[in-house]
Amino acid sequence: MTTTAKIWDQFHDNLYAFVLKRVHNEADTDDILQDVFIRIHQNLEKLKDEKKLESWVFQIARNATNDFFRKQKKISGEELPELEDQEVGFYGKQEMFCCLEPFVKELPEKYRRAIELSDLEGKKQTEVAEILGISHSGAKSRVQRGREILKEKFVECCHFTIDENGKLTGEQDCERCHPVH
């Protein structure tokens, strides 16, 4: 009979490395692992085939990590800058995104409000839909289109590029903040 303690002993180190590789923060990794082992403990009786234990455990870790990222306002596979902090996700310093606020303000109202609610205030798209009085799919479309417009603005003004995964890459070379004389 497999117990949570045995799973801890067998998988803790590998799960820690697995999660840390994705979140790059030891405190967050510890929090996620705590959640993983709570889920394992609560659902252990649902595991029918102990031969699938390892894949089951790592699937729980993947799900918990994805849940963590959803809570951290992940958009399109990339993290939005936390404007109240000087450090901004994996992008570097806040000044790298000096145009974010003006770009958001320049969005057409229906996209601006959806982006503000979803990505800047961290509301779920179902909440965005309710606040805006539109369907969930309508809110999702507005958020996605708003994000696309923002990406286009960063590419056009700041000379970022979009990689094969649709993420902004490169160094900011902003015409607004660093005009050529």
Full 3-state SS string of the chain: CCCHHHHHHHHHHHHHHHHHHHHCCHHHHHHHHHHHHHHHHHHHHHCCCHHHHHHHHHHHHHHHHHHHHHHCCEECCEECCCCCCCEECCCEEHHHHCCHHHHHHHCCHHHHHHHHHHHHCCCCHHHHHHHHCCCHHHHHHHHHHHHHHHHHHHHHHHCCEECCCCCEECCCCCCCCCCCC
How far apart CA 141 and CA 123 sit, in angstroms, is 15
pLDDT of residue 101 exceeding 80, the answer is no
pLDDT digits (tens, 9 = 90+) for 102-149: 888 899 999 999 988 887 777 888 889 999 999 999 999 999 999 889
pLDDT of residue 80 exceeding 50, the answer is no
Average pLDDT over residues 53-66: 89
> Which residue has tokens 């969005």?
107
Average pLDDT over residues 32-40: 92
At residue 181, the pLDDT reads: 45
Q: 123-160 burial string, b = 16+ CB within 10 Å, else e?
A: bebeebbeeeebeeebbbbbbbbbbebbbebbeebbeb
